[in-house]
């Protein structure tokens, strides 16, 4: 396994976009190459189908060495002034999240995320490549009689900006991640909510009870606070049903004219004073 780890680390550090990576963090990361505390590792890469050049590469380590984790944290803090995004979340003992991103003018990026999953349980995720714009949109209905509003979410920044966990029990630390501008929460069922200017602590409160956060089909949500009152999937479905009359009225109006879009923005201030803004664009 050490041989495979050596090859993967070398590819990450010496790839065309590896030169953009920050020296202190890469030095700390290289210490994982021969670390006996590594319990699991996953390496992946994506190549250009024509040139076969590596366009992006990622590596996930799980390890148990607290001193090594401290070394990585110190390196992140040292390079903070050079980063385009930095995030630190410390909700309680044995639950830390550190994330730092670097990006240059031509689009090359390096991103490092360190998660603490318990006492002496750490995970480091590294991704390098080219930043792109990814737009996810729901398909439009071809039948005017069945026309309805659909959620469309635009994501700007690093592609596939999610932490994936392999074979471990889900928790908010596994599925929530932020680059400082947007927070992406993907539940174990694959449903996704993207919160602009959000923070991990806000999403933690929403997911503590295991809610399935699927906002697709909701025309408007007054605030994220309303999700906390949901006790079951049935309650979430009832909330969707309340929106149906509104969507049907808009559907009849849209039949006589061209389709337009509408952006709904909701701001929620948490108990600790942090502000979370959600923006959802709908096809009318």
Parent domain of 178 = 131-284
122 shares its domain with 147: no
What is the per-residue pLDDT for 151? 32
168 shares its domain with 263: yes
What is the per-residue pLDDT for 32? 79
Among residues 88, 113, 129, which one ends one of the domains?
Answer: 129
CB–CB of 196/279 below 8 Å?
yes
What is the per-residue pLDDT for 280? 56
29 shares its domain with 154: no
What is the per-residue pLDDT for 258? 52
85 shares its domain with 141: no
67 shares its domain with 187: no
3-state per-residue secondary structure call for the chain: CHHHHHHHHHHHHHCCCHHHCCHHHHHHHHHHHHCCCEEEEEEEEEECCCCCCEEEEEEEEEECCHHHHHHHHHHHHHCHHHCCEEEEEEEECCEEEEEEEEECCCCEEEEEEEEEEECCEEEEEEEEEECEEEEEECCCCCCHHHCCCCEEEEEEECCCCCCCCCCCCCCHHHHEEECCCEEEEECCCCCEEEEECCCHHHHHHHHCCCCCCCCCCCCCCCCHHHHHHCCCHHHHHHHHHHHHHHHHHHHHHHCCCCCCEEEEEEEEECCCCCEEEEEEEEEC
Among residues 85, 107, 129, which one ends one of the domains?
Answer: 129
Torsion of CA 192, 194, 200, 202, to 10 degrees: -100
Q: What is the mean pLDDT of each successive set of 10 residues along the chain, which is 284 residues long?
A: 49 47 76 81 80 80 90 90 82 74 77 83 82 40 36 29 29 42 46 41 39 35 38 47 51 53 59 57 54
246 shares its domain with 161: yes
47 shares its domain with 156: no
How many residues in the chain? Answer: 284
117 shares its domain with 162: no
What is the per-residue pLDDT for 40? 82
CB–CB of 275/223 below 8 Å?
no
90 shares its domain with 201: no
What is the per-residue pLDDT for 58? 79
Among residues 92, 113, 129, which one ends one of the domains?
Answer: 129
260 shares its domain with 241: yes
121 shares its domain with 173: no
59 shares its domain with 110: yes
Torsion of CA 165, 168, 170, 173, to 10 degrees: -60
Angle of CA points 163, 169, 173, to nearest 5° = 40
pTM: predicted TM-score of the whole model, two decimal places: 0.46
The total of structural domains in the chain comes to 2
């Amino acid at each position: 396994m050490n041989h495979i780890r050596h090859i993967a680390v070398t590819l990450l550090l010496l790839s065309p976009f590896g030169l953009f990576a920050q020296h202190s963090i890469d030095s700390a990361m290289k210490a994982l190459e021969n670390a006996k505390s590594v319990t699991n590792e996953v390496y992946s890469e994506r190549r250009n189908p024509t040139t076969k050049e590596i366009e992006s590469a990622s590596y996930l380590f799980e390890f148990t060495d607290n001193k090594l984790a401290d070394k990585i944290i110190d390196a992140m803090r040292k390079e903070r002034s050079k980063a385009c995004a930095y995030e630190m979340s410390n909700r309680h003992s044995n639950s830390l999240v550190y994330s730092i991103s670097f990006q240059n003018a031509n689009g090359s990026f390096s991103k490092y995320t360190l998660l603490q999953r318990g006492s002496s349980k750490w995970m480091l995720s590294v991704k390098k490549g080219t930043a792109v714009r990814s737009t996810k949109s729901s398909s439009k209905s071809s039948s005017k009689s069945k026309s309805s509003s659909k959620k469309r979410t635009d994501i700007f920044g690093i592609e596939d900006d999610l932490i994936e966990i392999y074979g471990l029990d889900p928790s908010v630390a596994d599925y929530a991640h932020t680059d400082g501008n947007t927070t992406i929460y993907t539940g174990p069922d694959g449903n996704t909510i993207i919160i602009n200017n959000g923070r991990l602590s806000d999403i933690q409160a929403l997911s503590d009870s295991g809610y399935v956060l699927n906002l697709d089909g909701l025309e408007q949500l007054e605030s994220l606070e309303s999700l906390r009152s949901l006790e079951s999937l049935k309650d979430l479905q009832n909330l969707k049903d309340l929106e149906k009359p509104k969507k049907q009225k808009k559907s009849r109006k849209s039949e006589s004219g061209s389709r337009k879009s509408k952006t709904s923005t909701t701001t929620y201030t948490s108990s600790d004073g942090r502000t979370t803004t959600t923006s959802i664009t709908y096809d009318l």
